[in-house]
Amino acid sequence: MKSFFLVLLSVCMAGCGVDATFPGRDPDQLWRVLKAVAEQPEYDHQDPTKEWTLVENVVRVDEELRQIHIDRRVKRLLHRPRTKDLYEEVHWSFQVQQYPTDPPSVRFQSNEPELPTKMQFEGDRYFTEVRFLLSGLPQPQRMRTPVVSSDSDEDPSP
Protein backbone atom coordinates (compact mmCIF):
# COMPACT_ATOMS: atom_id res chain seq x y z
CA MET A 1 0.00 0.00 0.00
CA LYS A 2 2.85 2.35 0.82
CA SER A 3 4.37 1.85 -2.66
CA PHE A 4 1.01 2.70 -4.26
CA PHE A 5 0.98 6.09 -2.51
CA LEU A 6 4.58 6.74 -3.48
CA VAL A 7 3.75 6.07 -7.15
CA LEU A 8 0.64 8.24 -6.91
CA LEU A 9 2.64 11.04 -5.28
CA SER A 10 5.34 10.88 -7.97
CA VAL A 11 2.72 11.09 -10.73
CA CYS A 12 1.11 14.13 -9.12
CA MET A 13 4.43 15.81 -8.49
CA ALA A 14 5.89 15.21 -11.94
CA GLY A 15 5.69 17.87 -14.61
CA CYS A 16 2.44 17.40 -16.51
CA GLY A 17 1.86 18.29 -20.11
CA VAL A 18 -0.62 18.66 -22.93
CA ASP A 19 0.29 17.95 -26.57
CA ALA A 20 -1.28 19.35 -29.73
CA THR A 21 -0.67 19.07 -33.47
CA PHE A 22 -1.55 21.64 -36.09
CA PRO A 23 -2.06 20.00 -39.50
CA GLY A 24 -1.89 22.33 -42.48
CA ARG A 25 -0.29 25.14 -40.49
CA ASP A 26 2.92 26.91 -41.34
CA PRO A 27 5.43 26.34 -38.48
CA ASP A 28 6.60 29.98 -38.53
CA GLN A 29 3.06 31.31 -38.35
CA LEU A 30 2.26 28.86 -35.55
CA TRP A 31 5.38 30.03 -33.67
CA ARG A 32 4.25 33.67 -33.87
CA VAL A 33 0.81 32.75 -32.53
CA LEU A 34 2.27 30.63 -29.70
CA LYS A 35 4.30 33.66 -28.57
CA ALA A 36 1.33 36.03 -28.87
CA VAL A 37 -0.90 33.81 -26.73
CA ALA A 38 1.86 33.46 -24.11
CA GLU A 39 2.33 37.22 -23.94
CA GLN A 40 -1.36 38.21 -23.98
CA PRO A 41 -3.38 35.45 -22.26
CA GLU A 42 -7.16 35.72 -22.14
CA TYR A 43 -8.81 34.53 -18.93
CA ASP A 44 -12.37 35.78 -19.46
CA HIS A 45 -14.78 32.86 -19.32
CA GLN A 46 -18.55 32.39 -19.15
CA ASP A 47 -18.09 29.99 -16.25
CA PRO A 48 -17.02 32.09 -13.22
CA THR A 49 -15.13 29.13 -11.75
CA LYS A 50 -12.79 29.24 -14.75
CA GLU A 51 -12.29 33.01 -14.86
CA TRP A 52 -9.02 34.38 -13.49
CA THR A 53 -7.43 37.82 -13.27
CA LEU A 54 -3.87 38.09 -14.55
CA VAL A 55 -1.58 39.61 -11.91
CA GLU A 56 1.85 39.01 -13.45
CA ASN A 57 3.03 37.44 -16.70
CA VAL A 58 6.75 36.98 -17.37
CA VAL A 59 7.54 35.42 -20.76
CA ARG A 60 11.01 34.40 -21.93
CA VAL A 61 11.40 33.24 -25.52
CA ASP A 62 14.21 31.10 -26.93
CA GLU A 63 13.90 31.59 -30.69
CA GLU A 64 16.60 29.07 -31.55
CA LEU A 65 15.09 26.21 -29.53
CA ARG A 66 11.50 27.35 -30.16
CA GLN A 67 10.77 27.33 -26.44
CA ILE A 68 8.64 29.72 -24.44
CA HIS A 69 8.99 29.90 -20.65
CA ILE A 70 6.02 31.43 -18.85
CA ASP A 71 5.88 32.45 -15.19
CA ARG A 72 2.41 33.66 -14.35
CA ARG A 73 0.48 34.74 -11.29
CA VAL A 74 -3.30 34.75 -11.44
CA LYS A 75 -6.03 35.30 -8.87
CA ARG A 76 -9.77 34.93 -8.52
CA LEU A 77 -12.56 35.45 -6.05
CA LEU A 78 -15.36 32.92 -6.32
CA HIS A 79 -18.82 33.85 -5.06
CA ARG A 80 -20.90 30.69 -4.85
CA PRO A 81 -24.38 30.28 -3.39
CA ARG A 82 -24.54 29.19 0.25
CA THR A 83 -20.79 28.93 0.64
CA LYS A 84 -18.06 31.15 1.90
CA ASP A 85 -16.27 33.21 -0.78
CA LEU A 86 -13.11 31.55 -1.99
CA TYR A 87 -10.03 33.65 -2.77
CA GLU A 88 -7.21 32.00 -4.69
CA GLU A 89 -3.89 33.35 -5.87
CA VAL A 90 -1.76 30.92 -7.87
CA HIS A 91 1.72 30.90 -9.39
CA TRP A 92 2.12 28.84 -12.55
CA SER A 93 5.30 28.04 -14.41
CA PHE A 94 4.96 26.57 -17.90
CA GLN A 95 7.11 25.71 -20.86
CA VAL A 96 5.83 25.63 -24.42
CA GLN A 97 7.95 23.69 -26.92
CA GLN A 98 7.33 23.65 -30.67
CA TYR A 99 8.76 20.60 -32.43
CA PRO A 100 9.92 20.46 -36.08
CA THR A 101 7.48 17.70 -37.01
CA ASP A 102 5.10 17.36 -39.92
CA PRO A 103 2.45 18.40 -39.01
CA PRO A 104 3.86 20.91 -36.50
CA SER A 105 3.42 19.77 -32.89
CA VAL A 106 3.60 21.59 -29.58
CA ARG A 107 3.93 20.48 -25.95
CA PHE A 108 2.60 22.63 -23.13
CA GLN A 109 4.20 21.47 -19.89
CA SER A 110 4.28 22.44 -16.25
CA ASN A 111 7.70 23.24 -14.82
CA GLU A 112 6.52 22.63 -11.26
CA PRO A 113 4.61 19.94 -9.41
CA GLU A 114 1.00 20.35 -10.44
CA LEU A 115 -2.20 18.34 -10.32
CA PRO A 116 -2.74 16.83 -13.77
CA THR A 117 -6.30 18.19 -14.02
CA LYS A 118 -5.18 21.78 -13.44
CA MET A 119 -2.41 21.42 -16.01
CA GLN A 120 -4.84 19.86 -18.49
CA PHE A 121 -7.25 22.78 -18.06
CA GLU A 122 -4.55 25.42 -18.55
CA GLY A 123 -3.00 23.58 -21.53
CA ASP A 124 -6.41 23.21 -23.17
CA ARG A 125 -7.15 26.90 -22.56
CA TYR A 126 -3.82 27.87 -24.14
CA PHE A 127 -4.37 25.71 -27.24
CA THR A 128 -7.96 26.95 -27.62
CA GLU A 129 -6.59 30.50 -27.83
CA VAL A 130 -3.91 29.40 -30.32
CA ARG A 131 -6.50 27.71 -32.57
CA PHE A 132 -8.81 30.73 -32.32
CA LEU A 133 -6.06 33.08 -33.50
CA LEU A 134 -4.94 30.70 -36.25
CA SER A 135 -8.51 30.39 -37.55
CA GLY A 136 -8.57 34.10 -38.33
CA LEU A 137 -5.20 34.23 -40.08
CA PRO A 138 -4.82 33.70 -43.80
CA GLN A 139 -2.57 30.87 -44.90
CA PRO A 140 0.91 32.12 -45.90
CA GLN A 141 1.33 32.65 -49.66
CA ARG A 142 3.95 29.89 -49.98
CA MET A 143 1.44 27.35 -48.64
CA ARG A 144 -1.46 28.31 -50.89
CA THR A 145 -2.33 26.17 -53.88
CA PRO A 146 -2.14 28.23 -57.07
CA VAL A 147 -5.51 28.69 -58.74
CA VAL A 148 -5.43 27.86 -62.43
CA SER A 149 -8.24 29.28 -64.48
CA SER A 150 -9.41 27.31 -67.51
CA ASP A 151 -11.85 29.89 -68.87
CA SER A 152 -9.25 32.08 -70.48
CA ASP A 153 -10.06 33.54 -73.91
CA GLU A 154 -6.40 33.70 -74.80
CA ASP A 155 -4.86 31.09 -77.05
CA PRO A 156 -1.94 29.48 -75.15
CA SER A 157 -0.12 28.56 -78.39
CA PRO A 158 2.57 30.96 -79.69
Distance CA 68, CA 31 (A): 10
Q: What is the pLDDT of residues 114-153, one digit of tens each?
A: 655 677 888 998 999 999 999 886 655 554 555 555 554 5
Q: What is the pLDDT of residues 59-76, one digit of tens each?
A: 999 999 999 999 999 998
Q: What is the pLDDT of residues 77-97, one digit of tens each?
A: 888 788 888 888 988 899 999
pLDDT of residue 20: 95
pTM for this model (two decimals):
0.73
Q: Which of 131, 132, 114 is nearest to 17 (CA)?
A: 114
φ and ψ at residue 92, rounded to 5 degrees: -120, 145
Model confidence at 8, pLDDT cuts 50, 70, 90, reads: very low
**What CATH architecture does domain 14-137 belong to?**
2-Layer Sandwich (3.30)
Average pLDDT across the chain, whole number: 80
